Amino acid sequence: MSLRSSILTHALPLVRTQSFTRQSLVSAYLGLRDDGTAPSSVAAGPSSSAGTTGQTQAEGVIDELFGPGRSAVLELVRAWERAGAEQMRAGGDRPEGSLSHRLGYSAAAGPSLLEAYALLASPAHTPSIPIPRTVLALLPALARNLSLSFPALTTLNRLPLLSVHPLGPISYAWRIADEAVLLSKPGEKEKGVHGEGLGAGPEWYASRLGLALVYLASEAHLLLPAPTYTAATNPRLPDALDALSRNLERYDDIHDLLTTTSLLRVRSGASFALGPLVSTLASGLFRAPAAASPPRWPRARGYATAAAAAPSDTPAPPLPPVAGIAVTAPSLDKIKAEGYFDDDVALVPPAEARLVISPPAIQQLVSITARESADAIDRGLALRVGVDSGGCHGYQYTMALTEERGVDDYVFQPQGVRSIPVVVDLVSLGLVKGATLDFATELIGSSFRILDNPQAKEGGSCGCGISWEAKI
């Protein structure tokens, strides 16, 4: 990782306390240098304990890497946005889950979120207008009489204007909406309302603009002042999540209108008018909440990943007693024949090849099986649990429905119930053996999750529960 990327990565945790400022970047650089992780070409010199000298040197490094002025803090905002997109992926493939995770990420910034909006709304260049010669001639006398100085005006002969860049926050919300749509429709294989491939067509724009307004109206709750902030919570987050839930229901109504109204039937000769649609959606987002109704958003198989299934109209049947979890280990000979690993590869010892599946997780697996087609088990449908490198702590859990099997897969099959199995590859099982697969319903959404992993370092996991640090 380059020094520039390292500074941005280490500056993000400082945003909550030091905001989106150059000081956050300076502090991140000084921390890297004191830890000995900065390159020797820039790490030489007095340490941060040297006070003003170390601060001055760090400022010079930030200027050299990011440029002077606002460019450095704007790059910090962009890095914060990119990290937020990663958090959205942890919320699954439904906008309800991905946007909820994104709100949680923004809430973690605390009062500094307002500074991010201010930077997004600030123009790249300050506009100005020329000052007439007659006015310039009066400035020296005015300065003498009022004991004032106008060096900028007399030197540049232009008057700077205060302005805002309103498209900045809208573009920010658009990028979040675009990520949510892409997560919910991987590959954009579906067709739009006119049968066109989903690209720059009416539905392409309307879905993103609609979700952008939904998210912007929801995150606005996080910009309101709060009595207290703590390191772990933002008191405005519950209001923001509640607004997101209501707004997504209203967006769903508008989306239905989008796919049925004759106004969008270009094939019949009518024209497409996006203005009335946006006006209807925007007015709906800020009206008083209607009577509670069942959520209608989930259309895709969002429960296939870390997100939960859509709430059912009828309660799930009681779970019968589970006789246990049958474990099927892969064939070592087949693994070696495939050549995936070195010749000295070994299976996980039978006594250690264990994954606890909690009753709520089994209940969810049974529910998924019931909602799938009758041949789901015969097709080999399973919940794949894996471990990938990445995240803020080195490793992160992955979960998804799959019909594919690997030659090195362990299969964990609940007994006594009609349920799809859980599959874990050999490498991942070495990092989750003995852990518990659970399913939890929380304020920000429902999801499968890994608990009590004996291979994880105590206290070395992210607050999102996805990223974690392995024991050495």
pLDDT digits (tens, 9 = 90+) for 254-296: 665 554 443 333 333 333 444 444 554 555 554 444 443 333 3
pLDDT at res. 271 = 39
pLDDT in tens, 111-145: 888 888 888 877 655 556 676 777 767 767 766 66
pLDDT in tens, 62-91: 888 888 777 888 889 989 999 999 889 888
Pairing of strands 395-402, 467-470: antiparallel
Q: Is the pLDDT of residue 224 over 60?
A: yes
Residue 115 or residue 230, greater confidence: 115
pLDDT at res. 269 = 38
pLDDT at res. 361 = 93
pLDDT at res. 381 = 93
pLDDT at res. 383 = 94
pLDDT in tens, 413-424: 999 999 999 999
pLDDT at res. 150 = 52
Q: Is the pLDDT of residue 176 over 70?
A: yes
pLDDT at res. 302 = 31
Percent of the chain scoring above 90 in pLDDT: 16
pLDDT at res. 129 = 66
353 falls in which pLDDT band (50, 70, 90)? very high
Least confident residue range of 110-119, 253-262, 300-309, 318-327? 300-309
pLDDT at res. 1 = 62
pLDDT at res. 134 = 75
306 falls in which pLDDT band (50, 70, 90)? very low
Residue 265 or residue 109, greater confidence: 109
pLDDT at res. 252 = 74
Of 183-192, 237-246, 335-344, the range with the highest mean pLDDT is 237-246
Percent of the chain scoring above 70 in pLDDT: 63
pLDDT at res. 340 = 64
pLDDT at res. 426 = 92
Q: Is the pTM of this model over 0.75?
A: no
Average pLDDT, the chain: 74
Least confident residue range of 202-216, 359-373, 426-440? 202-216
pLDDT at res. 163 = 58
pLDDT at res. 336 = 84
Of 67-76, 212-221, 248-257, the range with the highest mean pLDDT is 212-221
**Mean pLDDT on 17-30:** 88
pLDDT at res. 35 = 62
**Mean pLDDT on 323-350:** 83
pLDDT at res. 462 = 60
